[in-house]
């Protein structure tokens, strides 16, 4: 992709999120994105209270990660070109069960957008590389909230490695851990997370996906839950779902909720 194309794509995505942010009606819980930023950087989402508290380092909770596992389902698997291809059930199967040439590695890319509780625009991109028992994922979410000073932008990156506990034609269950990266106008913060994910292929053309994660980010805790229902048209999946994101300060103040509905598209290759 050329530099011009990258710049043009960035301007297009920024413009789309700005439009969503401007269209999103203001609520009594305005400035939630700023409160989330404060929680990540300082451990407190209560800005007024922090003004009267002595400054100093706040204790950071240790990050945790999940270990691997094994299953009687976990044997060499091969992937179809996309779920339910060639009339098969699901997405993965032993090679001896396939009459055509399968692949040992698959790639899943997705793009989605939504509104976080009617006041914050959200957009996300993700890339997963699946193998027999292992997978890697890069996910990036951008938030935009209109304020009196202008639009506040926040980026949240996730870099994950996972192990499949169960990998059958009908479902893939995985545990994963990885790095978190928060970036906004106040700077960057890093952390770690661990979680469990599930992809279910109940019947052509439906796909159900769920992710539950928890971790530590800067001076806050982060709890996330994402669920989608997808309808496949060939290798393209049309998605509707809900993404819950809660930033929990470790010093003072209430948790900041960045949850809301989403719509997106996912490509299985």
Q: Which DSSP string corresponds to 59-71?
A: PPPPP--------
Q: Is 57 part of any domain?
A: no
Does residue 165 fall inside a structural domain?
Answer: yes
Tell me the pLDDT tens digit for each residue of 57-71. 433 333 333 333 344
DSSP-derived secondary structure letter, 218? T
Confidence bin at 12 (pLDDT 50/70/90):
low
The confidence score (pLDDT) of residue 147 equals 85
Question: Residues 5-24: what's their mean pLDDT?
Answer: 52
Torsion region of 234: left, alpha or beta (phi above 0 gives left; psi -120 to 50 gives alpha)? left
Q: Which residue has the higher pLDDT, 261 or 166?
A: 261
Lowest mean pLDDT among 84-88, 186-190, 245-249, 265-269: 84-88
Q: Tell whether 17 is covered by a domain.
A: yes
| Residue 31 resides in a domain | yes
At residue 176, the pLDDT reads 98
**pLDDT for the residue 51:** 40
pLDDT in the model for residue 95: 66
The domain tally of the chain equals 1
Whether residue 85 lies inside any domain: the answer is yes
Give the span between the Cα atoms of 101 and 196, in whole angstroms. Answer: 30
Query: Which has the minimum average pLDDT: 85-89, 110-114, 189-193, 244-248?
Result: 85-89
Q: Hey, what are 80's tokens?
A: 């179809």
155-176: average pLDDT: 93
- Tell me the pLDDT band of 114, cut-offs 50, 70 and 90: very high
Predicted pLDDT of residue 13: 52
pTM above 0.85, yes or no: no
Residue 173 lies in a domain: yes
| CATH code of the domain containing 215 | 2.40.160
164: left (phi over 0), alpha (psi -120 to 50) or beta: beta
The length of the chain is: 269
Asked whether the beta carbons of 171 and 190 are under 8 A apart, the reply is no
Compute the distance between CA of residue 195 and CA of residue 174 in angstroms, rounded to an integer: 9
| Res 125 pLDDT > 70 | yes
First to last CA, the chain: 20
Q: How far is CA 91 from CA 127, 192, 247, in A?
A: 17, 30, 34
Answer whether residue 21 shows pLDDT above 60. no
Q: Which helix (H) or strand (E) holds 35?
A: helix 32-42
Local confidence band at 76 (pLDDT 50, 70, 90 cut-offs): low
Q: What percent of the chain has pLDDT over 70?
A: 73
C-alpha 176/C-alpha 193 separation (Å) is 8
Burial of 79 by CB count in 10 Å (0-12 exposed, 13-18 middle, 19+ buried)? buried
pLDDT band per the 50, 70, 90 thresholds, residue 249:
very high
Residue at 59 is within a domain: no
- Please provide the average confidence, as pLDDT, over all residues in the chain: 81
Residue 165 has pLDDT above 60, yes or no: yes
List the domain range (segments joined by +) for residue 216: 3-51+64-268
Q: Residue 101 domain-assigned?
A: yes
């Amino acid at each position: 992709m050329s530099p011009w194309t990258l710049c043009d794509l960035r301007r297009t995505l920024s413009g789309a999120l700005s439009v969503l942010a401007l269209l999103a009606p203001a609520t009594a819980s305005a400035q939630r994105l700023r409160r989330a930023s404060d929680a990540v950087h300082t451990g407190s989402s209560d800005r007024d209270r922090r003004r009267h508290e002595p400054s100093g380092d706040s204790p950071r909770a240790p990050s945790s990660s999940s270990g691997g596992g094994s299953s009687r389902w976990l044997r060499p698997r091969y992937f179809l070109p996309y779920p339910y291809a060639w009339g098969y059930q699901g997405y993965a199967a032993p090679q001896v069960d396939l009459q055509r040439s399968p692949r040992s590695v698959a790639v899943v890319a997705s793009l989605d957008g939504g509104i976080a509780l009617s006041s914050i625009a959200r957009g996300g991109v993700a890339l997963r590389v699946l193998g027999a028992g292992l997978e890697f994922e890069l996910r990036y979410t951008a938030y935009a909230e209109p304020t009196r000073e202008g639009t506040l932008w926040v980026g949240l990156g996730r870099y994950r490695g996972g192990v499949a506990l169960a990998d059958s034609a009908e479902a893939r269950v995985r545990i994963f851990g990885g790095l978190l990266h928060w970036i906004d106008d106040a700077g960057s913060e890093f952390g770690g997370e661990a979680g469990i994910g599930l992809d279910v292929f109940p019947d052509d053309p439906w796909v159900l996906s769920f992710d539950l994660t928890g971790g530590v980010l800067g001076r806050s805790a982060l709890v996330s839950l994402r669920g989608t229902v997808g309808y496949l048209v060939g290798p393209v999946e049309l998605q509707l779902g809900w993404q819950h994101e809660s930033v929990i300060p470790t010093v003072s103040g209430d948790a900041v909720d960045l949850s809301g509905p989403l719509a997106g598209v996912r490509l299985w290759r």
